[in-house]
Amino acid sequence: MDEVTELVERVWRADAGGMLGALSRRLGNFDRAEEALAEAVAEALKRWSTEGVPDNPAGWLVTTGWRKALDRLRRDAVGREKLARVAAEPPPEPGVDDRLAMVFACCHPDLAEPARVALTLYAAGGLTTAEIAAAFLVPVPTMAQRLSRAKRQLRERGIGFEPPWPDEYADRLPAVLAVIYLVFNEGYLSSGRSAQRRELAREGVELARQLAALLPREPEVGGLAALLELHHARAAARFDSWGRIVLLEQQDRRLWDRQAIERAVLRLKEAVSLGQPGPYQARAGIAALHALAPSYQDTNWADVRALYDRLYPLDPSPVVLLNRAVATRFAVGPAPALAEVDALGERLAGYHLWHAARADLLTTLDRPSEALEAAERALELATNPAERELMSRRVGELRRRR
């Protein structure tokens, strides 16, 4: 890859949302904006090698794309009415509002979740169709169709590219945060053997940071950014050299990024100081307690358990209670923890981690036959390759103990 191509890719990754947002807002059409920018990128690859790189590469791409769009409108009979409205306007300049508008458009609640995720990575994150397809382990044509459907939905439903008013955040921000969290988890849970999956996790962190910079007074945005940064700070210790999951209790904490942890904790404190509690802040608080503990055994499990008690009213999910039971094991004891886990059986019988938690507790309580049965059921239900490999190891260990 030559230097110009690399530079163009960096500019695209850094501000795809701003550039597409600026043109989409002015043109009122995502497809036109995308085509115009694609032509601008092609021209940049030709001209920057001989004419030099402009002082403002993103601005150059948008201005050139704007001119390309006007040329297309002139040639397109359908676009002449639009041309009459926009031709006299100056080229747009990508800015904060454009990036924010693009993220909110891509994560619009009217779009199906797979469409939100794919479109966010493509239009706001700057990933290529091939990169997204590789990250989600689907063929490129399949991902191309998914993106095409998502763009068509934007057009057919009249979803605009104006930044939302602050009073609209409460309705629309949860969908944005959920998409970014899902993007991160998709990469983080199984990135040991795949560079594309690691990139997906990094992209989730970057999207959260960008959103936090755009909305500094939204505490749940800061909470999500802190949560993802705290998890990502220990990414180097999460997989061994064979790409196998290393559980938190077994991780080499010397590999954790302590500076990143300190920055994330500071971000979380700033979010909490705004006085509007939320589930992402509570989850980040739990992650911070783990990140700051000198060892797994020396974690303040009573505080972890108390934070799960705060989280549950904000997110009344049985999975929250399952995670609380793990803290109960260390704060109170394994027998009370098992009672908490068993009480969730009706709601979580089809969830592999419920069976995995039971297997761990039954092992601790010296009930090996029941532990093996639970571990085997967890393996049957697990679908993530990295988690299946972990559960397979557990099953093998329990069988050898019999």
Q: What is the pLDDT of residues 6-15, one digit of tens each?
A: 888 888 877 8
Return the pLDDT at 85.
57
pLDDT at 328 over 90: yes
Of the candidates 94, 190, 111, 96, the residue with the CA atom closest to the CA atom of residue 147: 111
Tell me the three state secondary structure of residue 172: helix
**Which amino acid makes up residue 397?**
E
Q: State what percent of residues in the chain have pLDDT above 90.
A: 42
Place of tokens 């571990």: 375
State the DSSP code for 123: I
Q: Would the pTM of this model clear 0.85, i.e. be above it?
A: no
pLDDT at 130 over 90: no
- Indicate the pLDDT class of residue 233, thresholds 50, 70 and 90: very high
Distance CA 114, CA 294 (A): 39
pLDDT at 159 over 90: no
By the 10 Å C-beta count (0-12 exposed, 13-18 middle, 19+ buried), 219 is classed as: buried
Task: Check residues 3 and 226 and name the one with the higher pLDDT.
Answer: 226
Place of tokens 């503990």: 293
By the 10 Å C-beta count (0-12 exposed, 13-18 middle, 19+ buried), 75 is classed as: exposed
Return the pLDDT at 3.
82
Beta bridge mates, 245: 239
pLDDT at 223 over 80: yes
Return the pLDDT at 81.
59
pLDDT at 194 over 60: no
Task: Check residues 195 and 177 and name the one with the higher pLDDT.
Answer: 177
Return the pLDDT at 277.
95
Report, in this order, helix, strand and coil percent for the chain, each rounded to 5.
75, 0, 25
pLDDT at 193 over 60: no
- The DSSP string of 331-393 is HT-HHHHHHHHHTTHHHHTT-HHHHHHHHHHHHHTT-HHHHHHHHHHHHHH--SHHHHHHHHH
Return the pLDDT at 226.
98
Sign of the Cα torsion 141, 198, 6, 226 reads positive
pLDDT at 326 over 60: yes
pLDDT at 327 over 60: yes
The mean per-residue pLDDT over the stretch 25-46 comes to: 86
Distance CA 304, CA 315 (A): 16
Distance CA 62, CA 20 (A): 8
Return the pLDDT at 400.
86
pLDDT at 200 over 80: no
Number of C-beta neighbours around residue 400 at 10 A: 7
- The DSSP string of 19-73 is HHHHHHHHHT-HHHHHHHHHHHHHHHHHHHHHH---SSHHHHHHHHHHHHHHHHH
> What does pLDDT average to over the chain?
87
Task: Check residues 117 and 358 and name the one with the higher pLDDT.
Answer: 358
Return the pLDDT at 80.
60
Of 30-44, 99-113, 323-337, 377-391, give the range with the top mean pLDDT: 323-337
Q: What is the pLDDT of residues 71-111, one digit of tens each?
A: 887 776 555 655 555 555 665 666 667 877 888 888 888 88
